[in-house]
Amino acid sequence: MLMASTILSGNNYQKVALLAKFINLGLRHRTTFQKIQGHFVAPTVEQYWSNIQASAIEETRATNVVISGDGRMGSPGHCAKFCTYTCMNQQPKGILAMEVVDKRECQLKSTVMETFAFKKAFSGLLKEGVQVVEVVTDAHSQISSLMKKEHGKIKHSWGMWNGAKNLGKKLFAVAQERGNESLRPWVEPVVNHFYHAAETCEGDALKLSMKMVAVLNHTANVHRWILGECDHEDHDEDQDRGNKQWLDPTGHEIVALEKVVRDTRFLGNLHHYTTCQYVSASLLKEC
Protein backbone atom coordinates (compact mmCIF):
# COMPACT_ATOMS: atom_id res chain seq x y z
CA MET A 1 0.00 0.00 0.00
CA LEU A 2 2.92 2.34 0.66
CA MET A 3 4.28 1.72 -2.84
CA ALA A 4 0.86 2.26 -4.42
CA SER A 5 0.18 5.40 -2.38
CA THR A 6 3.52 6.83 -3.48
CA ILE A 7 2.39 6.72 -7.10
CA LEU A 8 -1.21 7.78 -6.54
CA SER A 9 -0.18 10.81 -4.48
CA GLY A 10 2.10 12.09 -7.25
CA ASN A 11 5.34 11.37 -5.40
CA ASN A 12 8.26 9.27 -6.54
CA TYR A 13 10.35 6.51 -5.04
CA GLN A 14 13.41 8.67 -4.50
CA LYS A 15 11.61 11.16 -2.25
CA VAL A 16 9.88 8.49 -0.19
CA ALA A 17 13.09 6.49 0.12
CA LEU A 18 14.86 9.58 1.47
CA LEU A 19 12.07 10.11 4.01
CA ALA A 20 12.29 6.44 5.07
CA LYS A 21 16.06 6.75 5.49
CA PHE A 22 15.71 9.75 7.83
CA ILE A 23 13.24 7.96 10.12
CA ASN A 24 14.98 4.58 9.84
CA LEU A 25 11.99 2.97 8.14
CA GLY A 26 12.43 -0.22 6.16
CA LEU A 27 11.38 0.19 2.52
CA ARG A 28 11.10 -2.13 -0.46
CA HIS A 29 13.82 -1.93 -3.10
CA ARG A 30 13.31 0.23 -6.21
CA THR A 31 12.98 -2.91 -8.36
CA THR A 32 10.07 -4.12 -6.24
CA PHE A 33 8.52 -0.66 -6.45
CA GLN A 34 8.68 -0.75 -10.27
CA LYS A 35 7.18 -4.26 -10.39
CA ILE A 36 4.26 -3.18 -8.18
CA GLN A 37 3.75 -0.13 -10.36
CA GLY A 38 3.77 -2.10 -13.62
CA HIS A 39 1.77 -5.16 -12.51
CA PHE A 40 -0.83 -3.66 -10.17
CA VAL A 41 -1.06 0.12 -9.88
CA ALA A 42 -0.83 1.20 -13.53
CA PRO A 43 -3.35 -1.37 -14.88
CA THR A 44 -5.82 -0.52 -12.09
CA VAL A 45 -5.55 3.21 -12.74
CA GLU A 46 -5.94 2.70 -16.49
CA GLN A 47 -9.02 0.53 -15.99
CA TYR A 48 -10.53 3.05 -13.58
CA TRP A 49 -9.97 5.88 -16.06
CA SER A 50 -11.41 3.80 -18.92
CA ASN A 51 -14.60 3.22 -16.93
CA ILE A 52 -14.96 6.93 -16.15
CA GLN A 53 -14.32 7.89 -19.79
CA ALA A 54 -16.80 5.32 -21.10
CA SER A 55 -19.46 6.59 -18.69
CA ALA A 56 -18.86 10.23 -19.68
CA ILE A 57 -19.03 9.40 -23.39
CA GLU A 58 -22.19 7.34 -22.93
CA GLU A 59 -23.92 10.36 -21.40
CA THR A 60 -23.31 12.34 -24.62
CA ARG A 61 -24.73 9.79 -27.04
CA ALA A 62 -28.05 11.52 -27.71
CA THR A 63 -26.87 15.14 -27.54
CA ASN A 64 -24.82 17.58 -29.56
CA VAL A 65 -21.57 18.24 -27.72
CA VAL A 66 -19.38 21.32 -27.45
CA ILE A 67 -15.91 20.36 -26.31
CA SER A 68 -12.99 22.49 -25.15
CA GLY A 69 -9.44 21.28 -25.47
CA ASP A 70 -6.08 22.37 -24.16
CA GLY A 71 -2.59 20.92 -23.97
CA ARG A 72 0.07 21.07 -21.28
CA MET A 73 3.74 20.52 -21.95
CA GLY A 74 6.08 18.63 -19.64
CA SER A 75 8.39 21.66 -19.56
CA PRO A 76 8.30 25.21 -20.95
CA GLY A 77 9.82 26.27 -24.26
CA HIS A 78 10.85 24.00 -27.13
CA CYS A 79 12.56 21.39 -24.94
CA ALA A 80 9.34 19.67 -23.85
CA LYS A 81 9.37 15.89 -24.07
CA PHE A 82 5.73 15.15 -23.22
CA CYS A 83 2.41 16.80 -23.98
CA THR A 84 -0.87 15.97 -22.25
CA TYR A 85 -3.97 17.02 -24.21
CA THR A 86 -7.36 17.02 -22.53
CA CYS A 87 -10.82 17.37 -24.09
CA MET A 88 -13.68 18.42 -21.84
CA ASN A 89 -17.41 18.58 -22.38
CA GLN A 90 -18.43 22.21 -21.97
CA GLN A 91 -21.80 21.40 -20.44
CA PRO A 92 -21.84 19.56 -18.13
CA LYS A 93 -18.17 19.70 -17.23
CA GLY A 94 -16.59 16.30 -17.72
CA ILE A 95 -13.37 14.89 -19.20
CA LEU A 96 -14.07 13.00 -22.43
CA ALA A 97 -10.56 12.29 -23.68
CA MET A 98 -6.96 12.60 -22.55
CA GLU A 99 -3.87 11.80 -24.59
CA VAL A 100 -0.22 11.80 -23.51
CA VAL A 101 2.21 12.19 -26.40
CA ASP A 102 5.97 11.62 -26.37
CA LYS A 103 8.16 13.80 -28.57
CA ARG A 104 9.51 10.64 -30.19
CA GLU A 105 6.08 10.12 -31.73
CA CYS A 106 6.43 13.46 -33.53
CA GLN A 107 9.87 13.03 -35.09
CA LEU A 108 11.40 14.74 -32.04
CA LYS A 109 9.60 18.01 -32.87
CA SER A 110 8.07 19.41 -29.70
CA THR A 111 6.38 22.22 -31.66
CA VAL A 112 3.93 19.78 -33.26
CA MET A 113 3.18 17.69 -30.17
CA GLU A 114 0.06 19.65 -29.17
CA THR A 115 -1.47 19.32 -32.64
CA PHE A 116 -0.62 15.61 -32.76
CA ALA A 117 -2.13 15.03 -29.33
CA PHE A 118 -5.27 17.01 -30.23
CA LYS A 119 -5.72 14.96 -33.38
CA LYS A 120 -5.47 11.69 -31.44
CA ALA A 121 -7.92 12.82 -28.76
CA PHE A 122 -10.43 14.34 -31.17
CA SER A 123 -10.32 11.42 -33.61
CA GLY A 124 -10.93 9.04 -30.72
CA LEU A 125 -14.07 10.94 -29.73
CA LEU A 126 -15.40 10.88 -33.28
CA LYS A 127 -14.78 7.12 -33.51
CA GLU A 128 -16.73 6.67 -30.28
CA GLY A 129 -19.70 8.34 -31.95
CA VAL A 130 -19.66 11.59 -29.99
CA GLN A 131 -21.68 14.19 -31.91
CA VAL A 132 -19.30 17.14 -31.74
CA VAL A 133 -20.79 20.37 -33.13
CA GLU A 134 -18.19 22.82 -31.84
CA VAL A 135 -14.58 22.67 -30.69
CA VAL A 136 -13.09 25.38 -28.47
CA THR A 137 -9.31 25.75 -28.25
CA ASP A 138 -6.78 28.52 -27.92
CA ALA A 139 -5.62 30.34 -31.06
CA HIS A 140 -3.29 27.55 -32.15
CA SER A 141 -2.53 28.00 -35.85
CA GLN A 142 -1.77 24.31 -36.51
CA ILE A 143 -4.97 23.12 -34.84
CA SER A 144 -6.96 25.78 -36.71
CA SER A 145 -5.51 24.57 -40.01
CA LEU A 146 -6.27 20.95 -39.11
CA MET A 147 -9.88 21.75 -38.24
CA LYS A 148 -10.37 23.71 -41.44
CA LYS A 149 -8.92 20.99 -43.69
CA GLU A 150 -10.27 17.83 -42.06
CA HIS A 151 -13.31 18.91 -40.04
CA GLY A 152 -14.68 21.90 -41.94
CA LYS A 153 -18.29 21.15 -40.98
CA ILE A 154 -17.54 21.40 -37.25
CA LYS A 155 -17.36 24.92 -35.88
CA HIS A 156 -13.99 25.82 -34.43
CA SER A 157 -14.02 28.57 -31.81
CA TRP A 158 -11.22 30.23 -29.88
CA GLY A 159 -11.37 30.85 -26.16
CA MET A 160 -12.49 34.37 -25.24
CA TRP A 161 -9.87 34.72 -22.51
CA ASN A 162 -7.04 34.11 -24.97
CA GLY A 163 -8.50 36.58 -27.47
CA ALA A 164 -9.03 39.27 -24.84
CA LYS A 165 -5.50 38.77 -23.52
CA ASN A 166 -3.97 39.24 -26.98
CA LEU A 167 -6.13 42.30 -27.67
CA GLY A 168 -5.16 43.80 -24.32
CA LYS A 169 -1.45 43.29 -25.06
CA LYS A 170 -1.72 45.10 -28.38
CA LEU A 171 -3.70 47.97 -26.89
CA PHE A 172 -1.32 48.33 -23.98
CA ALA A 173 1.69 48.38 -26.32
CA VAL A 174 0.11 51.17 -28.39
CA ALA A 175 -0.92 53.10 -25.28
CA GLN A 176 2.69 53.01 -24.03
CA GLU A 177 3.91 54.93 -27.05
CA ARG A 178 4.78 58.55 -26.63
CA GLY A 179 1.79 60.85 -27.07
CA ASN A 180 -0.81 58.11 -26.45
CA GLU A 181 -1.07 58.58 -22.68
CA SER A 182 -4.78 59.39 -22.85
CA LEU A 183 -5.38 55.97 -24.44
CA ARG A 184 -4.15 54.01 -21.41
CA PRO A 185 -7.37 54.28 -19.32
CA TRP A 186 -9.32 52.96 -22.32
CA VAL A 187 -7.43 49.67 -22.61
CA GLU A 188 -9.53 47.76 -20.07
CA PRO A 189 -12.91 49.19 -21.27
CA VAL A 190 -12.11 48.23 -24.87
CA VAL A 191 -11.21 44.69 -23.79
CA ASN A 192 -14.46 44.49 -21.80
CA HIS A 193 -16.32 45.70 -24.88
CA PHE A 194 -14.82 42.77 -26.78
CA TYR A 195 -16.50 40.38 -24.32
CA HIS A 196 -19.79 42.29 -24.58
CA ALA A 197 -19.69 42.32 -28.37
CA ALA A 198 -19.12 38.56 -28.53
CA GLU A 199 -21.96 37.90 -26.08
CA THR A 200 -24.46 40.04 -28.01
CA CYS A 201 -23.49 39.38 -31.65
CA GLU A 202 -25.95 36.45 -31.90
CA GLY A 203 -23.40 34.28 -33.68
CA ASP A 204 -22.97 36.76 -36.54
CA ALA A 205 -19.34 37.55 -37.39
CA LEU A 206 -20.29 40.69 -39.33
CA LYS A 207 -22.29 42.01 -36.39
CA LEU A 208 -19.37 41.30 -34.08
CA SER A 209 -17.03 43.22 -36.39
CA MET A 210 -19.39 46.19 -36.51
CA LYS A 211 -19.69 46.24 -32.72
CA MET A 212 -15.92 46.19 -32.32
CA VAL A 213 -15.39 49.01 -34.82
CA ALA A 214 -18.15 50.99 -33.09
CA VAL A 215 -15.93 51.36 -30.02
CA LEU A 216 -14.01 54.01 -32.00
CA ASN A 217 -17.12 56.18 -32.00
CA HIS A 218 -17.78 55.63 -28.32
CA THR A 219 -14.28 56.59 -27.21
CA ALA A 220 -14.67 59.82 -29.21
CA ASN A 221 -17.98 60.60 -27.42
CA VAL A 222 -20.08 59.76 -30.48
CA HIS A 223 -22.89 57.43 -29.41
CA ARG A 224 -25.22 57.69 -32.42
CA TRP A 225 -24.24 57.56 -36.06
CA ILE A 226 -25.81 56.82 -39.42
CA LEU A 227 -25.44 53.04 -39.29
CA GLY A 228 -26.21 52.50 -35.60
CA GLU A 229 -25.69 53.50 -32.00
CA CYS A 230 -24.03 52.33 -28.78
CA ASP A 231 -25.74 49.61 -26.74
CA HIS A 232 -25.55 51.58 -23.50
CA GLU A 233 -28.19 54.02 -22.28
CA ASP A 234 -28.01 57.74 -22.98
CA HIS A 235 -24.75 59.04 -21.60
CA ASP A 236 -24.67 61.90 -19.14
CA GLU A 237 -21.99 64.42 -20.05
CA ASP A 238 -21.42 65.18 -16.37
CA GLN A 239 -21.15 61.52 -15.37
CA ASP A 240 -17.88 60.67 -13.65
CA ARG A 241 -15.73 58.59 -16.00
CA GLY A 242 -12.84 58.25 -13.59
CA ASN A 243 -9.56 59.13 -15.28
CA LYS A 244 -10.83 58.44 -18.80
CA GLN A 245 -11.12 61.40 -21.15
CA TRP A 246 -12.92 61.37 -24.47
CA LEU A 247 -10.47 60.96 -27.33
CA ASP A 248 -10.08 63.62 -29.99
CA PRO A 249 -11.77 62.29 -33.19
CA THR A 250 -8.93 63.81 -35.23
CA GLY A 251 -6.11 63.05 -32.78
CA HIS A 252 -3.33 60.50 -33.12
CA GLU A 253 -4.68 58.49 -30.14
CA ILE A 254 -7.84 57.54 -32.02
CA VAL A 255 -5.70 56.70 -35.06
CA ALA A 256 -3.54 54.39 -32.93
CA LEU A 257 -6.65 52.72 -31.49
CA GLU A 258 -8.11 52.34 -34.97
CA LYS A 259 -5.00 50.50 -36.20
CA VAL A 260 -5.56 47.85 -33.53
CA VAL A 261 -9.34 47.56 -33.83
CA ARG A 262 -9.40 47.65 -37.63
CA ASP A 263 -6.42 45.34 -38.02
CA THR A 264 -7.16 42.99 -40.91
CA ARG A 265 -5.97 39.89 -39.06
CA PHE A 266 -7.96 40.77 -35.94
CA LEU A 267 -11.18 41.35 -37.87
CA GLY A 268 -10.57 38.26 -40.00
CA ASN A 269 -10.38 36.05 -36.91
CA LEU A 270 -13.47 37.42 -35.17
CA HIS A 271 -15.61 34.59 -36.55
CA HIS A 272 -13.84 32.32 -34.03
CA TYR A 273 -15.42 34.29 -31.15
CA THR A 274 -19.05 34.56 -32.25
CA THR A 275 -20.27 31.97 -29.73
CA CYS A 276 -18.35 33.55 -26.83
CA GLN A 277 -16.89 30.28 -25.59
CA TYR A 278 -14.22 29.72 -22.97
CA VAL A 279 -11.54 27.06 -22.65
CA SER A 280 -11.92 25.66 -19.15
CA ALA A 281 -8.20 25.99 -18.49
CA SER A 282 -8.38 25.93 -14.71
CA LEU A 283 -10.49 22.76 -14.67
CA LEU A 284 -8.27 21.09 -17.24
CA LYS A 285 -5.20 21.81 -15.12
CA GLU A 286 -6.87 20.39 -12.04
CA CYS A 287 -7.75 17.21 -13.91
Same-domain pairing of 167 and 118 = no
Query: Does residue 202 belong to any structural domain of this protein?
Result: yes
- CA-nearest of 256, 172, 247, 179 to 217 is 247
pLDDT digits (tens, 9 = 90+) for 215-274: 999 999 888 888 888 887 765 554 445 667 899 888 889 999 999 999 999 999 999 999
pLDDT digits 0-9 by tens, 141-185: 999 999 999 999 999 999 999 999 999 999 999 999 998 988 999
Domain of 263 in residue numbering reads as 161-273
- List the one residue out of 131, 6, 132, 9 whose CA is nearest residue 68: 132
Is 283 within a domain? no
pTM of the complete model: 0.82
Calculate the average pLDDT of the chain. Answer: 89
- The verdict on 194 and 114 lying in the same domain is no
Query: Is residue 96 predicted with pLDDT exceeding 80?
Result: yes
Q: Are residues 37 and 141 in the same domain?
A: no
Residues 51 and 72 in one domain: no
Residues 44 and 84 in one domain: no
Q: Checking phi first, is residue 69 left (phi over 0); if not, alpha (psi -120 to 50) or beta?
A: beta
Q: What is the tally of structural domains in the chain? A: 3
In a domain, 281, yes or no: no
pLDDT of amino acid 236: 54
Same domain, residue pair 252 and 237: yes
Is residue 11 domain-shared with residue 74, that is, in the same domain? no
Give ∠ CA 63-67-71 in degrees, rounded to 5. 155
Least confident of 103-112, 119-128, 268-277: 103-112
Share of the chain above pLDDT 70, in %: 93
